[in-house]
Amino acid sequence: MNVIRIPSIFMASATELPFPDNYFDAVFTDPPYYDNVPYSYLSDFFYVWLKRAIGDLYPELFSTPLTPKSKEMVAYTNNRSWEEAKEYFENMLSQSFKEIHRILKPNGIAIIVYAHKTTLRAGKHS
């Protein structure tokens, strides 16, 4: 018998996940790398079209004109120095890892993909 499962859709910060302790068997994530990719700005393109297409079905997810950026986990220097931006990013990343640890079951698996936009060849590190 086929069971149709309807997924739950929610929006939350990676630093404050709305799940109880020891909830997941596995967590897979690809966090940002400092200011490498402006995810929220790229997402704006898709956000406005999704909002037009399905915004009425999920009004709580489309309550802003563009994607929220104030709490984005990136090292933007808009209103701060590079050192301040770097510290902000590293604190947010650390908090998100603590949340992963909190919601992951004791024998759970966490897979974290962490890459930079450049590649290095063996022996060519600078």
Read off the pLDDT of residues 100-123 as tens digits, 9 standing for 90 and up. Answer: 999 999 999 999 997 766 665 554
Task: Report the C-alpha dihedral over residues 18, 22, 26, 27, rounded to 10 degrees.
Answer: 40
Q: What is the pLDDT of residue 72?
A: 86
Q: What is the pLDDT of residue 18?
A: 93
Which residues, 6+ apart, have CB-to-CB distance to 116 below 8 Å? 33, 36
Q: What is the pLDDT of residue 116?
A: 67
Q: What is the pLDDT of residue 119?
A: 60
CA distance 95 to 101: 10
Task: Report the C-alpha dihedral over residues 48, 54, 55, 60, rounded to 10 degrees.
Answer: -120
Task: Answer whether 104's CB lies under 8 Å from 19's CB.
Answer: no
Q: What is the pLDDT of residue 48?
A: 92
Question: Any idea where the domains of the chain sit in the sequence?
Answer: 22-36+74-115, 39-73
Which residues in the chain land under pLDDT 50?
Answer: 123-126
